Structure 1
Amino acid sequence: MSLLLVAVALFAQTAIAQTYTLLHSFSGPDGGSPTGLIQTADGTFYGAAVLGGDVNTCDPDGCGTLFKTDSAGHFTVLHVFHASDGYHPTGLVQGLDGNFYGTSVSGGQPSGGGAGAIFRIDPAGNFQVLYAFTGGFACCDGAGPTGPPIQASDGNFYGTTGGGGAFRDIHHQGGFGTVYQFNPVTGVVTILHSFNFDGDGFYPNSPLIQGKDGFLYGTTRQGSGPFRVGPGTAFKIDTGGNFTLVAVLAGQPLSGLIQTDDGNFYGTNEGLGGSVFRLDALGNFSFINKFDGADGWNPQFRLLHASDGFFYGTAPEGGLLDFQGGDIFRLDASGTLSVLHSFTITGADGFGPNTQLIQGADGALYGTTGIGGTNRHGTIFRFDQRVPGPVASVTVNPAVVVSGQRSTGTIKLSSPAPPGGMIVNLGAMQGQIVIPSKVTVRAGATKRRFTIKTLTIGAAATVRIYAYAAGQGVRTTITVTP
């Protein structure tokens, strides 16, 4: 915890990058805590809000809504949930028929009860419950869908539930979760796999993807290690229900996986600050980035592999301005990371980004925050990642220093400093070095050097150094040896 407090103190500053555009601020009746976006061929964005809508016949915070908007922020509510048709929707996917499909975490029964539902809605807002889960304490259906289903190459939809299934014990009466198939023609749900607390993982917690090999891939939050409460797992399953454990992960994934053209899979873990990891086709696991607070904290959402080859993601906490705010980050496969935007709990741009980013038809990034905005119910935003931030790079020379000696850091700006100069803030995430808290790049200049003093230490340490302005920043490392 002390490291977190140091991070907050080091990176206290208020500013909003100009590449961020607020498109909509949720008010409650139109939704609250949106869960991300999809974009259709006509350029319209569609999404779901977990809360908001009807607060009279549903939860005090509402059962959620479905909505659409355009890139200018023209917003329309398509559906308001009332429990009997489900509540707390998890997002949308567009089917091959042009309609939208999704799931709700709970509800779906005429009484308002139930363990969640699969639904369909067309672009005009015509809504229909297609299947209501009965899981929970009743064998052997699923309970609590964890995200919108995907439509696989065979035309059926596939997804996971966080509870239910055929296996349960005295301590887990609600079951350990399932993988299911939904046939949109017959309306039949088939449970392909019930997680069994026996080494295959349990509590799947994210949507599936269909890999290049045709298998469906997903993750469980827990299920390995002593007493089966250790790190989560990655798995694959074919459309016939043949299940394979792919890897035991070093953490608890919440986001699921993405696959890149080279066949590798990438995902995020929470716990101990969180991480980004890579899995190769053989299930070999490696870390790409371990978060320290300044670059974000406990990412919980899928990465986006954008057209420029970079990975983009969000963290609901951490960042360079306010530890409670969260951030947008960019990462390459080698682990080089930049913070593109830092949220604050007092800013009108929202905070706590809570979904996978998408790349719009215009090339920019679009996403949502779960909290904040004008009405404090979350926001929809656009972020143009192609506009360079004020700080282009920070380097150190030498990069390996014997303790007690000095090194030199160099800040490079993306463009000449304005009249009056530009203040660039500096921070180090560990105590083995001493650097200025900020430096000023003089007007018209693009570079500024600073001195790095190292302390006497007994063991080698690699320290991250951040340079940032207006909530955008870059980092480098210096290694101090005894």
Structure 2
Amino acid sequence: MHKLNALLLLCLALVFAANVQAQSNSGVNNAELNGNYAFTFSGFTGNSGGSSVFGAVGRFTADGSGNITNGELDTNGVGPGAALAAQAFTGTYAIGADNRGVMTLNIPGGAKLAFAMMANGNAQFIEFDATGGVGTIGSGTMEKADTSAYNTASISGDYAFGVAGFDDANNRAAIAGRFTSNGAGALTNEAGDVNAYGTTYSMTFSSANYSVSDTSTGRGTLNFSFSIGGSPFSLNYAFYFVNAGKLFVMGTDPVSASTPLLNGVVLRQQIPAGGFSNAALNGGMVIYLTGFTFCGNGSARSSDALAGLSTTDGNGALNITFDENCGGLSNSISGLSGTYSVASNGRTSIAVANGAVAYLVSPNQAFLFSTDSSVVSGFGEPQAAMSFTNSALNGNYAGVAATPASFGVQVFSGEFAADGASPTGNMTGTEDIGASSGPVSGAAFQAAYAISSSSANGRGTMTVASGEGGNAVIYMISATAFVAVSLNDPNPAVLLFEQSATSPPPTPTLTSLTLSPATVTGGDSSTGTVTLSGPAPSGGAQVALSSSDTSVATVPSSVTVTAGATSATFTVNTSAVTASTTVTISAAYAGVTKTASLTVNPAPPPPPTLSSLTLNPSTVIGGVQSSTGQVTLSAPAPAGGATVTLSSSSGAASVPSSVFVPEGATSATFTVNTSIVLVSTSVTISASYNGTTRMASLNVLL
């Protein structure tokens, strides 16, 4: 979504076309994206000079047939061309049979998105047109918009909000707060807290207001004027309606050292009669937060992702279990005790670990951030009142890597199916990956998982065999939603999963690898066949191949099973060997590896030739004497022996039609019989074998 010059765009387009594999974009499910949508996006733009924050909010209309109209967006970032205001756009999209889609936006600089549809008609998406360290990566959500709310009066009542982002030097900041709207543009009863690059302040508001600037697109503007630490500030935002109770907001001020680009959400507060109190936090709340900080003893800041379960008693006591990955360093904390205090307007101070501030949206639902230098910020959702086991994680889910905190994060969106099996569940799927190095479309995903109701209800582990994200810890929000954090990804993000629209076809697995023939002579070839458990997905299935000894047998690096097919063949080439050698050929796909053995034998020695034919004696009296012939081979006769054919040039001497040299022997004899002659005669006796003929003369006398 970032504006680039024309030459750079052309280069990116060429590289993108060369690197993106076929997406499942047949358009068979285009009707799933139909109507008016609002969207929000958080990410980073990179080039040879480094990377910087980038964000967008907007809206569009999808016609259910692959066309985007009535699009409008605002973007912001660092550098020329990064900021766009109320930019109109059109576009196209296509959704495949597995509910994964691709969208192209016709905006300055262009944008290519991959998205995954959810059961409620909303979608999670990523931008994946970065390559070679240049371009934009990030993620967001598209949600159905209520156009009847596109007016000033719709924003009325109490609201809470949470925004987070970075300044022009990638220092992180976050704000959480609340206000009351009179439905006429004025905001009162403001309250807020900010963690500005590691220091937390209470915000003292002097004024706040909003305006719906375009009732046809649902775009509006919002201004907060306040002071922190005695210094005055003013922040301006653009927003787009999802509905009267939800707005997507993004900062529109030029990004600088004193003004970060902050993206987030405004939600209508559900305040109990008499106001919030400690009783509003009672039970389980799943939290998920993202930050950017120094990890361990590292000298550079890294992405920080955290997910956990906060259990509160309604009286000010809490217990937190969480898992955190900071720059690839994982940390699991169980049963951490603390306290909390809820004000009537929903502001909540949390005394646990390094401390946190939250603003409640409703009971057990809040925007929150830490008060330390990591500036982890995010959201808390009420956990469903049930005992979670593997059976709860069962069905189809759309997933996304949410709110990346650096350009190094590999974002993804995809469709996944979980089988709910115990004691180990299985999840398979297909995902599209956006990375600074380049996009990947249609990557196979396979993982095993286990969910427990104790000691932290709904906490589980996921072991990833193939796909993006790495081994992870899961926290169940409900049977239709869960969050996860990778334990070993050096650039982690919070992973969000929500029930998907329909069942994606299961990702096939590799069932067999065969070689025919399984025994060859060095220098000859064999044909390998890989077979899948079901038809290959759209774009095909790329099966990786390898040989345990490439000096003896070589294979291509991979073979592709074309879309819809279940098998593919490849050639195994061999080299000459001096001794019989067994080589293991391996094939791997979607976390499954199959092997087959190929025996390569030395070439057999060349068959012997006929080296001599002798007659003894070589002079005989015809009809009275015979001669003994002997054939000699150049080497021992091969298996099965050697048959040497014989002939005579005259009836004066007769020989058998052939003589047999036994296996392993080098010679054999035969008898030459003679007849009475009227005149002495010279007879030529011939012996032939393996293309060689030898002759000897026999003198037959009167």
Give your verdict on TM over 0.5: no
Normalising by structure 1, what TM-score? 0.39
- Bigger RCO of structures 1 and 2 (CA < 8 A, at least 6 apart): 1
